[in-house]
Amino acid sequence: MFFVARYVIRRIIGGPLPPTPEFDADEDLRIKDAVLREARQRVLRDGDWRAAKQAIEAAGTDWALRGYRLGVFAGLAGDDDTWFDAWMRAEPSDPSAALIWAKVLAGRASEARGGASAAKTSREQFESFHALSEKAAEASMRALELADPRDPNPMIRLISSCFAAGAGQLNELYAEAQRRDPHNFDMHELAVMLTCAKWYGSHERMFAVAHSAAEAAPPGHRTTLLPLFAHFEYAMREFAWDDRSKESQKAVRRYFRQAEVQRDCDAWIAKFRSAPPTSEQLSQVRQWMAVYYSLIGRRKEAKVVFDELGPYVSRFNEWGWFWGDMEYGYLKSFWWANGVGGV
């Protein structure tokens, strides 16, 4: 009732409100890449695998863009592989098709495990996860053999396989991926995840990886915002691990309102903002900024970021970590940023 009253007052006094964000809109509305959008439509409409192949090849040596397009088509193949089977039959040694297949298997492994913590994951789930992960790793090695030796994407897929296989080869894989594409966001994000305390590292190692990658990346590059992600991982592990109570949420906010944490986060955001973005795939890092500003109560800055995100958004885990549910956390913070309700 209080929210409704605030909504009405804000609408009368503050003028028109932006549309409520949509989480389940057609993916075409979220894709800014026109080449990818058209190719995706052809695959869905006609089952034309050549459209997918051409879109991936059109990325050239923009390895991050190539990886993004590969990921979208892997998602389509995971949902309905009829068109992809035709591609594999026609060109069984195509490097893009090989990597898509590795990504499909990895997606199936992730689904088999589920998103719960280890304590809430069954033995059967773990067994399925490891079996499918091994198949994904084998497919990734096949993709690596076929790929351009400059392409980091097969290496990134192999880094991802460390979640199941362990971190024994992480340093080697990470070094080779960096040699191929020094500032690749997906590569560095995986390294931050794998070196965090909940996987195979520690808070100290995770922050070292995130800060090193952000320091080396040029202004405007989304990799400069990885330290924010490291802070989220830290806060989730320390204050919200299997505990989404009001007390844990207060502890998270106290952490982010520390002066040294804000100095660190603000510095990386300033570096990112100091030059035009180097990628169109910015929803994830913009949501990181929105999470941060919402946690520390900076309404004006939060609104700027929500306006940049626009009406069609994907869900990211951080909202669920700190608000208990991804959509609830996003919408509660969105309305607060627009002058309605508290955060």
What is the Cα–Cα distance from 300 to 304, expressed in whole angstroms?
A: 7
Please determine, for residue 57, whether its predicted confidence score (pLDDT) is greater than 90.
yes
> What is the reported pLDDT for 15?
59
Q: Look over the chain and give the mean of its residue pLDDT values, rounded to a whole number.
A: 92
**25: confidence class by pLDDT, cuts 50, 70, 90:** confident
Task: Return the higher-pLDDT residue of 76 and 137.
Answer: 76
**17: confidence class by pLDDT, cuts 50, 70, 90:** confident
Q: Which of 68-77, 127-136, 158-167, 297-306 is predicted with the least confidence, judged by mean pLDDT? A: 127-136
Residues 6 or more apart whose CB falls under 8 angstroms from that of 118 comprise none
What is the Cα–Cα distance from 343 to 337, expressed in whole angstroms?
A: 8
Mean pLDDT confidence for 237-249: 89
Helices (H) and strands (E) counted in the chain, each on its own, are 19, 0
Q: What is the pLDDT of residues 176-225, one digit of tens each?
A: 999 999 999 999 999 999 999 999 999 999 999 999 999 999 999 999 99
27: its two tokens: 């993916």
> What is the reported pLDDT for 115?
66
**248: confidence class by pLDDT, cuts 50, 70, 90:** very high
Residue bearing tokens 């996003």: 330
Please determine, for residue 14, whether its predicted confidence score (pLDDT) is greater than 70.
no
> What is the reported pLDDT for 5?
47
| Rounded to 5°, angle at Cα 156 from 321 and 188 | 55
What values do phi and psi take at 29, rounded to 5?
A: -75, -20
Q: Which residues of 227-255 are buried (b: 16+ CB within 10 A; e: fewer)?
A: bbbbbbbbbbeebbeeeeeeebbeebbeb
What values do phi and psi take at 296, rounded to 5?
A: -100, 0
What is the Cα–Cα distance from 129 to 113, expressed in whole angstroms?
A: 5
Cβ atoms of residues 27 and 79 within 8 Å: no
Please determine, for residue 263, whether its predicted confidence score (pLDDT) is greater than 80.
yes
Using DSSP's 3-state secondary structure scheme, residue 71 falls into: helix
Domains in the chain, please, with CATH? 21-181 (1.25.40), 198-343 (no CATH)
> What is the reported pLDDT for 4?
53
Please determine, for residue 242, whether its predicted confidence score (pLDDT) is greater than 60.
yes
What is the Cα–Cα distance from 114 to 184, expressed in whole angstroms?
A: 27
Mean pLDDT confidence for 297-302: 98
Please determine, for residue 122, whether its predicted confidence score (pLDDT) is greater than 90.
no
Residues 6 or more apart whose CB falls under 8 angstroms from that of 199 comprise 163, 167, 193
> What is the reported pLDDT for 201?
97
pTM for this predicted structure: 0.91
What is the Cα–Cα distance from 334 to 313, expressed in whole angstroms?
A: 12
In residues, how long is the chain? Answer: 343
Ordered DSSP codes for 147-166 = S-TT--HHHHHHHHTHHHH-
Task: Return the higher-pLDDT residue of 214 and 132.
Answer: 214
